[in-house]
Amino acid sequence: MRLLTTVAALRCFLTKRRLESQVRVLEEKILDGLTSWYQTDVGLVPTMGNLHQGHLSLIERARQENSTVIVSIFINPLQFGPNEDYGHYPRTLEQDRQLCEQAGVDAIFAPSPDEIGIPQKNIQESQVTQVIPPSAMISGLCGRSRLGHFQGVATIVTKLLNLVQPDRAYFGQKDGQQLAVIKRLVADLNVPVEIVACPTVREASGLACSSRNQYLTAQEKQQAAVLYRSLLQAEAAFKAGVRYSSRLLEVVQQELAKVSSVLVEYIELVEPTTLMPLDKIQEEGMLAIAARLGATRLIDNTILRDRQPIIAIDGPAGAGKSTVARQVATKLGLVYLDTGAMYRAVTWLVLQQGIAIDDECVIAELANKCKIELTPSQDLQSPVRVWINDTDVTQAIRTIEVTSQVSAIAAQAAVRQALVKQQQSLGKRGGLVAEGRDIGTHVFPEAEVKIFLTASVGERARRRQQDFKTQAQPEVSLEQLEKDIAERDWKDSTRKVSPLKKAEDAIELQTDGLSISDVASRIINYYQQRLSQW
């Protein structure tokens, strides 16, 4: 791991790293013929140092999804007000360095303010060019008491994104207002980066992890846990059918009032993307709190979603994910998110329009402009009807011509990114069953039900051999199939980027000796158990 303190060193490191990654990709393609989508990607985790478990969860996610991970450590003077704790903010670079090395970070970028042209003044006094988010997004919530804070955050985040030029940047949901502002910044300025929101990490008491928690005494830490308890009370009320802001805020206030030392700054319900106040939750809302305990200011929030659950099924090749997912969706009356059909639909459109398969720029434009819809069907042979740009292509995408070209289209990074975006958009409504290798960890990390479907190598080899017989394909020995599957498992699980991995909150289902119906029934039972708890 490298510690970089200058812009010149950072640029040199990234140039060499990207070149090395491209060489490795070429070597891997030659060796195994497999294509990975994220092999040269760079992930950035912006921090102010004094790393804790919350930061480490961001790093872990970045490590899973990128070949290079950069952690920036910069205590940004522009986001501190005149009477805030800039001078006393914890500076623990050596400790942070050790944690990053243990977490597999490739480089830390820890510049001085002068190195990146940031004067050690607050935003009001600074003469530096500023990035100013929409006033409506920064005038409420924390913006009321922290004047200039979000201008300072937006300015330094823009600088870091320009310097690193990452494919993805990772931020925690705990700072919900900051997350919304940065997403808007990236969208408005057309910055080519994906902002990845990661769940809030909490201490055993429920207190959200924060560098400022160390300011709290042991007693204050116990008292501070009331913030999370109040959010849990609101979640319970929401699950019971409460949708109006006035009642949800009242529930939070009643719980917070039990700890008199907690001085509430605000309790608000806002739309998570625009931060506009909500009177009633139609689809989703962010319930946010800021409070002071002694001299320490604490924030927390929760997202309340009114949607049907998502079932995410991941697992190794040959575990029966696709067949099981189709059956689960049919029995529960949910939509089977046939990701393979989405890639086939794009391939059909490419062929239909006479576009060359290797014309990636035109295909990228096509993939980002097309609209794909999936609707349930009573036809057991085609349980999902597939539409692209209002044309039903359910049968057309199953032709030999499409089948022979879909792998080449799916291997193009821009297509993958465009379709993941569409999949996540479909997921906002919920009511989906989706399967893959990273559905629960990357595409739908917020899925309510996560299943990791697996089976022994021997079982999967027997199933594949039976499939070959059913399809009248040439027979392959069990020994060879087991060898192929074991090799594929090793490659999938040891990939540097997006490896096959069970999500922390997924349940593992071993399917040896079980029929498809047995597996589907177990998932449905688990789903119904979870549903009864919501």
Active-site positions read 55
Q: Which residues pair with 385 in a beta bridge?
A: 375
**Strand pairing of 168-172 and 194-198?**
parallel
Q: Are 291 and 227 in contact (CB under 8 A)?
A: yes
CA distance 395 to 412: 24
- Nearest CA to 11 out of 154, 115, 119, 104 is that of 115
Q: Which long-range contacts (CB under 8 A, 24 or more apart) does 459-468 make?
A: 459/511, 459/512, 459/513, 460/316, 460/317, 460/318, 460/319, 460/485, 461/318, 461/485, 463/318, 463/320, 464/318
Residue with tokens 């004094």: 50
The backbone region for 508, taken as left when phi is positive above 0, alpha when psi lies in -120 to 50, beta otherwise, is beta
Burial class (CB in 10 A: 0-12, 13-18, 19+), 474: exposed
- Nearest CA to 251 out of 264, 262, 267 is that of 267
Supply φ then ψ for residue 108, to 5 degrees. Answer: -105, 130
What residue type is 337 in one-letter code? L
CA distance 486 to 492: 10
The length of the chain is 534
- Nearest CA to 315 out of 460, 397, 437, 223 is that of 437
Q: Terminus-to-terminus CA distance in the chain, angstroms? A: 44
Task: Cite the beta strand spans of 277-431 per DSSP E.
Answer: 284-293, 296-305, 310-314, 335-337, 372-376, 384-388, 391-392
